[in-house]
Structure 1
């Protein structure tokens, strides 16, 4: 054994001090996260108390949204994120107080708490939850969160009154699909569905991917003496082929098991919204933006990647995710129409938007200006939002760009059913006033020029 054999006594003492300091820091961090959960749980309880006193028919939903919006705005975090944190904190603090106390004392981390609470979230009886917590906390003090998770599920099963069949029937109602954006013009698609189906989907994709790879290898062996054929050989890995197969199936397949008699679902095509700076799009630069809306067609395999010059701004998907120039140019070439967005060459402020075949001019103008929900910290794309009069039309508000903005349904409802208030200033700037009187400014996103 040679590791650290040459370390001096002072270096080993420094290492020991570092380990102890890091351990103390982790304990403090766990305690502070527990304190934050306590405050979030109090905020959620306060919102419900307010709703209960007013006998609100929504059972506190709008009150919780209103409080979450205030907390999210001051922290510059989405109120959806705050609402999820409030729900998680309430579950931990109120239903698993022993676990919360252990975290507050720094004996276990927040990750340990999540593993215990997730596995025990189906326990209904307070005594069962307390007994379960009493078993799990000592184990959590000795094990890592990833080792703790399967152990917690096994222990929780002892206290569950309902069988896994009953629980699964209810859990099926939580099935969903969602996406998260990544780096380098990539994104992740997630599916939450019955385990048997998901494992079956993955296995079928894997079998198909291995079959394609094996066929590619066979062709490569047969053409080993032919340099031209070898140069064009498909060298994708199984992971790459699996992803490409899933993409083709979703984008080009027909959901025959769910389609209507007249084929309504089969006629639906995927849609993406891309913003492409014209200098990135064209060889001869001009000063404007081209905003295209195009069906999402599977891209052909060109065998190489075309790189845009480093000094040109990238294209963007939904005004948020940078994408490569090759993909943007391919989509631009197949688009049936573009929105042209003219911007100030110095400040980037949007000046006007037009379309080669004009229609719904004002809506296009506002979608191009706002690009997302205009509530602070919200990132829902404008094409998924409602167009709202800041000053209500029923009380004299004009239907023009200086009195309209894009709000997602959640924040559209929040504006009309809570004390939150919004005023539009010059340049499309929105000033939101919260129930506690704080002001939050939301400016139109800067454009890629």
Structure 2
């Protein structure tokens, strides 16, 4: 018991220190945002102001080896905490509350416009947060915030609706998460409908298997969550968007599209190297073979059997050879730390074609729109080196080398032993 008490005490101290250091980091990120704002004050347009923020975020991100989109979001969140809720930030810095507590307090008070109201709101919640968990603080914070709201909830909901969106987060073992943010009534309604469908499928399957002597159907073994997930994906992949479609059903005619890279040995069932989905996450060979069997055509990527280096790309129906070669080589945006796939990128001339830059592999690379704009309209610039390597120079003069990721292929080692007679 003495040892447990000692470990618990140390754990509390460590968590307090981590919270304090996170507050320090937020302060530095907020300073970065302030530097960008000072530059933006001399800008002639809103676009130039946004580019100033992107430039600072890219400088931080390249040095930290983090996506600059992630850093820019952190800068925005840090500025929001430091400038609008300074009491919460200081409490976190003092180790009185955690970053989780600070986040739920700020989220609940996001729409409080008066500084005095925010301070009063913060004082009440900080005292509560010192002795309660973040999830309990979140519930109370939403209730307390309503007392200080100067705008009706209808107006606030209209603003909140602008933040609706959908996103994907890759997971290990060929899995991924699909997230959705939208009006609560619609999201809960959609979840309830999917749940009703899942329960109907489960109950019907149970009845069918009870009445049948053949118990080979594996559907009965699925949990309610699994059936819910299967139905949701089935609806998203095959359902018609009735609320948005045109008279001639153009939206309903669209089908899902993904890019899969699979070694030929895996495709033949003779290898264990996983396939890759959209150049960013492994998937199982069974799924890859099913997708390959249903595909109307393949890009064949030829690699060196020893080094794995990309040699060439062809297709049984040749078209746009250079574009396919670049997609196979780059696999993502070529700005350091960015992971956007080629399908979401522009093909950029590193040396402007209008100024004599050749339309050749050595002068072309994929850049997402964000970094394409960053390259052309900020002090960031790029120079091709060799073999698909690019040297990016930041506004502070730091140089970052971006290498294309190795192809998802199989390599072999040379057998140095003498051949038998």
Q: TM-score, normalised by structure 1?
A: 0.89
Conservation of the 8 A alpha-carbon contact between 2:328 and 2:407? no
List gaps (5 residues or longer) in structure 2: 410-421
Distance apart, 1:253 and its partner CA: 1.3
Specify which of 358, 362, 368 is matched with residue 318 of structure 2: 358
Q: Deviation per CA, 1:12-46, whole angstroms, max 9, x where unpaired?
A: 1x333322222222221111111110000000010
> Aligned residue for 1:158?
147
1:247 to 2:247 alignment:
no
Specify which of 18, 25, 29 is matched with residue 40 of structure 1: 29
1:341 to 2:301 alignment:
yes
> Aligned residue for 1:301?
none
Q: Deviation per CA, 1:159-181, whole angstroms, max 9, x where unpaired?
A: 00112122112212221111111
> Aligned residue for 2:76?
87
Q: Deviation per CA, 1:405-442, whole angstroms, max 9, x where unpaired?
A: 00000000000010001011111001100000000011
> Aligned residue for 1:296?
none
Specify which of 255, 260, 267 is matched with residue 269 of structure 1: 255
Specify which of 171, 175, 190 is matched with residue 186 of structure 1: 175
> Aligned residue for 2:194?
205
CA distance in 2, matches of 1:237, 1:29: 39
CA distance in 1, matches of 2:134, 2:13: 18
Conservation of the 8 A alpha-carbon contact between 2:43 and 2:49? no
CA distance in 1, matches of 2:356, 2:305: 35
CA distance in 1, matches of 2:31, 2:218: 62
Distance change >3 Å, CA 88–CA 396, structure 1 → 2: same
> Aligned residue for 1:124?
113
CA distance in 2, matches of 1:243, 1:57: 42
CA distance in 1, matches of 2:218, 2:102: 50
Conservation of the 8 A alpha-carbon contact between 2:333 and 2:340? yes
> Aligned residue for 1:441?
401
Q: TM-score, normalised by structure 2?
A: 0.95
Conservation of the 8 A alpha-carbon contact between 1:340 and 1:354? yes
Conservation of the 8 A alpha-carbon contact between 1:178 and 1:189? yes
> Aligned residue for 1:408?
368
- SS in structure 2 at match of 1:230: coil
CA distance in 1, matches of 2:250, 2:151: 40
Distance apart, 1:157 and its partner CA: 0.7
Matches within 5 A, 1:283-294: 283=269
- SS in structure 2 at match of 1:174: coil
Q: Deviation per CA, 1:61-90, whole angstroms, max 9, x where unpaired?
A: 000001100100000000000000000000
Specify which of 99, 102, 108 is matched with residue 110 of structure 1: 99
Distance apart, 1:59 and its partner CA: 5.8
- SS in structure 2 at match of 1:426: coil
1:426 to 2:386 alignment:
yes
> Aligned residue for 2:156?
167
Q: Deviation per CA, 1:196-238, whole angstroms, max 9, x where unpaired?
A: 1111111111111111111111111111xx3xx2123522222
Q: Deviation per CA, 1:287-328, whole angstroms, max 9, x where unpaired?
A: xxxxxxxxxxxxxxxxxxxxxx6xx21000011111011110
Specify which of 340, 351, 355 is matched with residue 380 of structure 1: 340
Cα root mean square deviation, aligned:
1.2
Conservation of the 8 A alpha-carbon contact between 1:48 and 1:59? no
Distance apart, 1:389 and its partner CA: 0.3
List gaps (5 residues or longer) in structure 1: 5-11, 286-308
| Larger RCO, structures 1/2 (Cα 8 Å, 6+ apart) | 2
- SS in structure 2 at match of 1:85: helix
> Aligned residue for 1:143?
132
Q: Deviation per CA, 1:74-130, whole angstroms, max 9, x where unpaired?
A: 000000000000000001101111111111111111111101111111100111111
CA distance in 2, matches of 1:91, 1:84: 11
1:280 to 2:260 alignment:
no
1:314 to 2:274 alignment:
yes
- SS in structure 1 at match of 2:261: strand
- SS in structure 2 at match of 1:386: strand
> Aligned residue for 1:231?
216
Q: Deviation per CA, 1:175-200, whole angstroms, max 9, x where unpaired?
A: 11111111111111111111111111
Specify which of 320, 327, 342 is matched with residue 367 of structure 1: 327
